[in-house]
């Protein structure tokens, strides 16, 4: 079994080395690391080229992260596809080995999702995001399984690409469509896959949060999921319980 990890980047010289090393450190698995770079003008590609694990680089202009991720999926040759953002790292060196084992143990399994954690700029863990209790009705509340914990067979991503009409919530929309289809066997597994740095595109400021939630409501509407602003914004009350103070 082969796993394809896709990392989209653009001028990420400050964080890309940790992400690259995190993939290079993975043990017991046959993998390829696909870097989709939006023509970085800093030292990002120099750092990428300094690593010797199985790397495939695509460096060309794109329309944003979701366009880059779609390109990565198209280039992937692995049986299983997962994403690692350019400022994130895998939680442990055996994450992909454990992911591989889940799929080997359940031949009919087409996707799994687990848990992640968030750290601040100083590396302190500030939030644990568990997908354990996720249910389909949570989409109407603007909630989804942790996307960077989602690993699926390539056919799933071929059938459900990221919709580029969404600037921030294409991952929410993609997962909603996958789960709504009922075409695949997708299950939760109790594994912490990823350590993410806070301050991503969807949470960096108030405007980003407003755009995210507007797009979430748009996706729900397009997919026949009844929701409203009160439901979507109420998720922030439950998220408080995930934070470490």
CB distance 7 to 84 below 8 Å: yes
Residues sharing a CB contact under 8 Å with residue 207, sequence separation 6 or more, in sequence order: none
Q: What would the CATH number be for the domain defined by 2-242?
A: 3.90.550.10
Positive or negative, the CA dihedral 230, 165, 161, 20 is negative
- CA 220 from chain centre, in angstroms, equals 20
Annotated domain spans of the chain: 2-242
What does each of the 245 residues of the chain score in pLDDT, given as a tens digit? Answer: 999 999 999 999 999 999 999 999 999 999 999 999 999 999 999 999 999 888 999 999 999 999 999 999 999 999 999 999 999 999 999 999 999 999 999 989 999 999 999 998 888 899 899 999 999 999 999 999 999 999 999 999 999 999 999 999 999 999 999 999 988 999 999 999 999 988 655 455 688 889 999 999 999 999 999 999 888 888 876 766 666 54
């Amino acid at each position: 079994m082969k796993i394809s990890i896709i990392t989209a980047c653009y001028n990420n010289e400050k964080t890309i080395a940790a992400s690259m090393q995190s993939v290079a450190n993975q043990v017991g698995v046959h993998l390829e690391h696909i870097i989709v770079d939006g023509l970085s003008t800093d030292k990002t590609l120099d750092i990428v080229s300094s690593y010797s694990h199985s790397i495939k680089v695509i460096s060309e202009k794109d329309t944003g992260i979701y366009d880059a991720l779609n390109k990565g999926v198209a280039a992937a040759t692995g049986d299983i596809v997962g994403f690692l953002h350019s400022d994130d790292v895998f939680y442990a060196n055996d994450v992909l080995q454990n992911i591989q084992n889940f799929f080997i143990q359940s031949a009919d399994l087409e996707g799994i999702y687990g848990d992640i954690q968030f750290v601040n700029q100083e590396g302190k863990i500030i939030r644990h995001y568990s997908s354990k209790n996720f249910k389909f009705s949570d989409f109407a509340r603007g909630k989804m399984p942790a996307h960077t914990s989602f690993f699926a067979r390539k056919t799933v991503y071929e059938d459900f690409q990221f919709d580029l009409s969404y600037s921030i919530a294409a991952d929410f929309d993609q997962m909603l469509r996958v789960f709504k289809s009922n075409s695949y066997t997708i299950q939760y597994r109790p594994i912490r896959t990823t350590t993410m740095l806070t301050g991503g595109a969807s949470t960096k400021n108030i405007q980003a949060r407003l755009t995210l939630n507007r797009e979430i409501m748009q996706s729900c509407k397009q997919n026949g999921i009844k929701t409203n602003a009160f439901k979507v914004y109420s998720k922030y009350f439950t998220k408080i319980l995930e934070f470490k103070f």
